[in-house]
Structure 1
Amino acid sequence: MGDQIRPLQPGEPAPAFALPAANFDGLVSLDSLRGRSFLIGFFRGLHCPFCRRQLGQLAGLQPTLRAAGVEILAVINTPVERARLYFRYQPTPVMLLCDPECRTHRAFGVPRVEFVPNGSSERPEWPSRTTMAQFGAARINPTGELPEALQPMEANVVLNARDGFELDEADHAILANHGTQLVGHFLVDATGIVGWVQIEARDGPNSLGIFPTAAQIIAAVGSLER
């Protein structure tokens, strides 16, 4: 049976968390952020090229959001040692937190997709449950970089090769254990209350890899300020 967790909704309190940072010293917790608004994105591991691209977009947004009093945090399900090695060569100003078991993803209610076993009478219900046939039929090209829309796993392979990104043992383990984790963005106000939520691919697998744009995030921050 797939996850039946429900994403947090605007007006609900953010759950407590404390995670190690890959590019800063120490732990970052909800308590340490009290009194500050923040945008927190929950991503798959570094093996996901679309997640890496979104991290780049968030880095570009950081000056604008900081000017509005909003910090940016990104949580990836890559072990902290692996993340530190990668970001030594690909630095980012975004506060990068590591949760290889996706516990914080779960606490915020970010879904992951599970596959209905062959021959099961269980009814597929995206995004918690899907069939291999439905996932296999999906075609994506969310950034427009591909010459044509490809099956999601094939798109990952093509873009990783283009980026020169080679998966190591840690990446393969995360992909095997959490490869169907979806991505979620949450805007939390200075009192710890969720003000805006965006969950990846709510309408089906053809929307995988589509994340909020800079304009959408800036608009959400403006709404939070009002």
Structure 2
Amino acid sequence: MAATQNRLMIGAAAPKVTVQDCQGSPVALADRWSQRPLLIQFARHLGCTFCRDRAKQLKLDYPEIQQHGGDVVFITMGTHERAQQLQDGMQLPFDVLVDPHRAAYQAYRVPRGSMSQVAGPQVWLPGLNAVIRSGFGKPTGDLLQLQGTFVVDAAGILRLAHVPRNSADHPQLADIVAALES
């Protein structure tokens, strides 16, 4: 698969990109990871059931991520207003950031998926479970955009680069903790 061949490799320097906070102010990700390791979670789109479920899970995992020295940012391609609504509505303890032109998605090589990866049979049961746990939102943006999860250490080196097989595929907390500790 082309996405696997073009993905960023663990041990490589993380791309230094700037995104925006919910008010439209610039946020350099390198400023965030220079303070402590950073888990960067790219969302598919704000209406994505799996992404809402992922945000909810990261909220639950956030104390443990912090215990291991890490912080979290959740990046979406949505609007500032919808990102703020997500952060406030889910009471997320970490920042929801906006990349409206998907420049950060491209820098981190987060691929677009096929219809099968986004809505194929392999995601039907996990999708139903995610809807039950976290509900669903209004789909907007590029519905074929996949999500991605990255951990960058304080020196700017990638310690985890998870590009999913499908829209239901996320790394486990144990993998995130291992990356934070490496």
* 1:213 matches 2:177: no
Question: Residues 35 and 190 of structure 1 are in contact (CA less than 8 Å); yes or no, is this contact kept in structure 2?
Answer: yes
Aligned amino acid, residue 129 of structure 2: E
Structure 1 residue 14 corresponds to structure 2 residue 9: no
Report the TM-score when normalising by structure 2. Answer: 0.83
SS class of match (2:144): coil
1:111-139 alpha-carbon deviations (Å, 9 max, x no partner): 113xxxxxxxxxxxxxxxx5x68977533
What is the match of residue 157 of structure 2?
A: 193
Q: Check whether the contact 2:45–2:145 (CA below 8 A) recurs between aligned residues.
A: no
Paired residue secondary structure (1:139): helix
Distance in 2, matches of 1:136 and 1:86, equals: 23
Range with bigger deviation, 2-11 or 25-34: 2-11
> Corresponding residue for 2:38?
38
Aligned to 1:138: 121
Aligned to 1:149: none
Deviations 1:86-143 (A, max 9, x none): 4333220122111122210110111113xxxxxxxxxxxxxxxx5x689775332226
Map Cα deviations across residues 65-96 of structure 1 (whole Å, 9 max, x no partner).
21221111111111112221343332201221
How has the CA–CA distance of structure 1 residues 144 and 13 changed in structure 2, closer, same or farther, with 3 Å as cutoff?
Answer: same
For 2:116 and 2:155, locate their aligned partners in 1 and report how far apart those are by CA, in whole Å: 44
**Matched-pair contact (CA < 8 Å) for 1:40–1:187:** yes
Gaps of 5+ in 1: 114-129, 147-158, 202-206
* Cα distance between partner residues in 2 of 1:36 and 1:75: 18
1:179: which partner in 2? Answer: 143
Whole-angstrom distance in 1 between the partners of 2:154 and 2:49: 31
| Structure 2 residue identity aligned to 1:187 | V
Gaps of 5+ in 2: none
Higher RCO by CA contacts (8 Å cutoff, separation 6 or greater): 2
What percentage of aligned pairs have identical amino acids?
A: 28
SS of 1:142's equivalent in the other structure is: helix
In the alignment, structure 1 residue 80 sits paired with structure 2 residue 80: yes
Contact 1:58 1:94 in 2 (8 A): no
Equivalent position SS for 1:185:
strand
